Amino acid sequence: MTRNRATKIVATLGPASSTQTVIDALHQAGADLFRLNFSHGTYEDHAARLRLIRDIEARNGRPIGVLLDLQGPKLRIATFDTGRAELRADEAFVFDQNPAPGDSKRVCLPHPEIFAAAGIGDILLVNDGLLRFEVTDVSLTRIVTRVIVGGVISDRKGVNVPRVALPLPALTAKDRADLEFGLAQGVDWIALSFVQRPEDLHEARALIGARAKLIAKVEKPSAVERIEEIIDAADAIMVARGDLGVELPPETIPAIQKRIVRLCREAGKPVIVATQMLESMVNSASPTRAEASDVATAVYDGADAVMLSAESASGKYPIEAVSMMNRILEHTESDPSYRQLMHAVAPPGGADTTDAIGAAIRTITGVMPVCATVTYTTSGATALRVARERPVSPILSLTPNQAVARQLALSWGISSFEIDDAETAEDMISKASATAQVHGFMNAGKPILVAAGMPFGTPGSTNLLRVVWPTAL
């Protein structure tokens, strides 16, 4: 199954996509990696879906990545004596730590960290920003606010505190248990929620070790402010635009998205653009024109992957949503200006042989027709550095490590397969050509490029590039 595009699709599984028939159809329609959202569902649900993914993977012979998305801390108000209250602009409203049910004057906010961090003039948002409050007085047990935007406030709605770095760990007790469960099941990527600073990633990294790769979800303004450090500490980035849009003005999100994608490409690390990409397809069989343009914009920016959430997890048209996203990606990448943009924003290379070979591959594929670039990699680093250059030809990554093959399913342009390691240069050429032939990458009269490190099996030693013509295959 060869994709006709380089940008990958991440599809979230849920109640609408829990059977083998639907998951297989999602993969056939274009899903390259599946997301298990641990904010919902039971361990039994997630384990069953993962087993189905692995069955489909074995049957199709193509590695499929699995992403475990941790819930992270959830900040919520408590309850009201009638379940809700009506608040009017310019009235006073108090958040306190009194567990008694709330009313139109006050409600319990059971998060002392907010009381410790909030200051006069700070803004509190409730229910995804639909209600807005300005802090006028604060103590360790009481926050007095002025209602800026009123409306109905009800039980257990979420709370956001924009521009305030809260003293909360990114990993809750639930996250720790979920993490261990997922790692034991063999997931490939862990997405860490509520990242505010690069230090938030260190604890998760220590617990994960080498068992999976780590994604930092950028959903807080404080993360945007330290984005270069967070990219450096993570293996990949997810731009969670829905959450960012709650705490930041909507007009700032497109520029933030473009900047994060550019920085990730410079770093050679995958980046996912996520949230509300085809939101209307939760209930409609087709997207809005604006949504199609939004997906295309992420492709033009150079994102490695785009993600479907409720569209594929709980919507009425999960297969149609993946199929539509696949068609948008294919059509966008066929636009000549897409290739021009990829070259126009090519990142500067480093002073090492891997980057030099990656730049050479970009040049060669730009001036002559090439069937595919074949990379040999034990860690995935060679394939990622080649993908960073966005070459014209597909990237076929060969690795003896099954986990690496699955992890690379997230990265731009890479089709990765598990094979035995090569013993000699000629063995490498033979395995490269055979794999390219089997998976439909060969084209008569066009060469393949082969990049590898010698001696074989040494991570970070990419130092060889061969142009192999069909007569030599």
Residues annotated catalytic, as ranges: 35, 76, 217, 275
Give the span between the Cα atoms of 393 and 329, in whole angstroms: 16
Token pair of 458 as six digits? 């040494």
Strand pairing of 213-218 and 236-240? Answer: parallel
Question: For residue 161, which of 198, 126, 201 has the smallest C-alpha distance?
Answer: 126
Q: What are phi and psi of 333, to 5 degrees?
A: -70, -20
Torsion of CA 233, 239, 244, 250, to 10 degrees: 140
CA distances from 123 to 119, 136, 145, 180, 239 (A): 9, 10, 9, 36, 23
